[in-house]
């Protein structure tokens, strides 16, 4: 019973943190884009515009919810949920810290340290496409359908590279548990000076993973499913009010999970070089959580930074990059890692 209660509390906290972060990442996106374009961005609601997310949320809830007559109603209503739920589920196996002593109990800072951690992530991320496809189809609108079709083709193509890029990491870690992957990165060094983070061990895998994740989250330069200039808004063109907000939140929740994964798999998770990873005093445990939060925030910033810097690819370029460059690169990485491991046995 204790275990169940502990898990429930952790789930509640993580969900709360993610939803709040979603709101503030939206604000961060508007602010960062404004500064990149030499503007000020939202600065009217609260100090420095910090209460803007509240105003936005209120607006989304109070707007009229239009359900067009030409949609397939059942699936039209399912789609926003089908995209938001997998986006939030992904975080369940991400370790956001080591352990923390709370009222005399040693709590592991991860919702479920499942044996199949990495596979779980691949499974959940492969489900994200349903919301996009169903939303596009149910809207009964040619632009929305085009967006849905593009999304499914793009996500299936990049899922392969995503999965294959992780195999190199798994071959070294010899475990699918994300806590094992982080612990391995927290011990030892690469070339004597660098921390044993997988970005140094597996640079090719890191590159392929990051590019594929951009494609999986439908962010620029891979935002063809919603390309405004060609498809109005793609798969969510017919959605309004809170249902549109759910698509919007899902995109940012996907970004948060993706950033947390990049930090966990390739940048040492909660590990900070110079801090003893085995020391689990209260202050250091909190520090580890903060380190993880800062790393995740940095990759969220990279997502935004790239969006306002790089223009959108053409559709054939997206497909060519996925199948002709990333996939062979990921396969090559698996081969090289295998060779290295055999020779160093």
Partner 1 sequence: METAVFYVLATIAVASAVLLVLFRNPVYSALSLVATLFAVAGLFVLLNAYFLAAVQIIVYAGAVMVLFLFVIMLLNLGHSEALESTVGRYRLTGVIFLCALLVAQLTAVGTRQLRGPVAENEALRTENVQTLGKLLYTDFLFPFEVASIILLVALIGVVVLVKRETPETT
Point out which residues bind partner 1 (CB under 8 A).
72, 75, 114-116, 119-120, 122-123, 126-127, 129-130, 133-134, 136-137, 145, 148-149, 152-153, 155-156, 159, 163, 176
Q: Where are the alpha helices (DSSP H) in the chain?
A: 2-36, 52-62, 73-89, 117-138, 142-173, 178-186, 198-201, 203-216, 228-231, 241-266, 282-307, 315-320, 327-343
Helix (H, G, I), strand (E, B) or coil at 291: helix
* Contacting residues for 320 by C-beta, under 8 A, at least 6 apart: none
Burial class, 58, CB count within 10 angstroms (exposed 0-12 / middle 13-18 / buried 19+): exposed
Least CB distance to partner 1 at residue 134 (A): 8
Least CB distance to partner 1 at residue 57 (A): 30
Q: Of 172 and 199, which CB lies nearer to partner 1 in the complex structure?
A: 172
The answer, yes or no, to whether the previous bond of 174 is cis (omega within 30 of 0) is no
Least CB distance to partner 1 at residue 107 (A): 23
Least CB distance to partner 1 at residue 127 (A): 6
Place of tokens 């999970």: 257
Q: Of 239 and 292, which CB lies nearer to partner 1 in the complex structure?
A: 239
Least CB distance to partner 1 at residue 201 (A): 21
88/160 Cα distance (integer angstroms): 22
Least CB distance to partner 1 at residue 219 (A): 20
Q: Of 95 and 136, which CB lies nearer to partner 1 in the complex structure?
A: 136
Contact 261/300 with Cβ under 8 angstroms? no
Contact 131/236 with Cβ under 8 angstroms? no
Query: What letter would DSSP give residue 98?
Result: S
Residue 65 CA, distance from chain mean position: 28
Q: Of 148 and 195, which CB lies nearer to partner 1 in the complex structure?
A: 148
Q: Of 79 and 304, which CB lies nearer to partner 1 in the complex structure?
A: 79
The two tokens of residue 57 are 């949320």
Q: Of 245 and 318, which CB lies nearer to partner 1 in the complex structure?
A: 318
Least CB distance to partner 1 at residue 268 (A): 23
Q: Of 75 and 232, which CB lies nearer to partner 1 in the complex structure?
A: 75
């Amino acid at each position: 019973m204790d275990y169940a209660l502990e898990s429930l509390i952790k789930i509640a906290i993580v969900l709360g943190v993610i939803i709040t972060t979603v709101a503030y990442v939206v604000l961060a996106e508007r602010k960062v884009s404004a500064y990149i374009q030499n503007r000020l961005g939202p600065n009217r609601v609260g100090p420095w515009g910090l209460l803007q997310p509240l105003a936005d949320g209120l607006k989304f809830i109070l707007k009229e919810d239009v359900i067009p007559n030409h949609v397939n109603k059942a699936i039209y209503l399912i789609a926003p949920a089908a995209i938001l739920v997998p986006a939030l589920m992904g975080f369940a196996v991400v370790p956001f810290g080591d352990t923390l002593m709370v009222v005399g109990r040693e709590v592991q800072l991860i919702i479920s340290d499942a044996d199949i951690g990495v596979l779980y992530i691949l499974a959940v991320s492969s489900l994200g496409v349903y919301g996009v496809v169903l939303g596009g189809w149910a809207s009964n609108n040619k632009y929305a359908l085009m967006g849905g079709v593009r999304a499914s083709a793009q996500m299936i193509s990049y899922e392969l590279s995503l999965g294959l890029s992780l195999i190199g990491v798994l071959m070294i870690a010899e475990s699918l548990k994300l806590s094992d992957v982080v612990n391995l990165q927290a011990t030892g060094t690469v070339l004597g000076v660098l921390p044993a983070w997988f970005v140094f061990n597996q640079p090719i895998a890191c590159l392929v993973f990051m590019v594929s994740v951009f494609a999986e989250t439908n962010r620029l330069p891979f935002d063809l499913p919603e390309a405004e200039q060609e498809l109005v808004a793609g798969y969510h063109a017919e959605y309004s009010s809170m249902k549109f907000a759910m698509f919007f939140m899902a995109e940012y929740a996907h970004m948060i999970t993706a950033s947390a994964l990049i930090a966990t798999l390739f940048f040492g998770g909660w590990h900070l070089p110079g801090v003893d990873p085995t020391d689990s005093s209260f202050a250091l445990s909190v520090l580890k959580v903060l380190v993880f939060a800062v790393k995740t925030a940095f990759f969220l910033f990279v997502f935004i930074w790239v969006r306002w810097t790089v223009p959108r690819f053409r559709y054939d370029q997206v497909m060519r990059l996925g199948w002709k460059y990333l996939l062979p690169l990921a396969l090559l990485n698996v081969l090289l890692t295998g060779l290295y491991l055999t020779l160093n046995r």
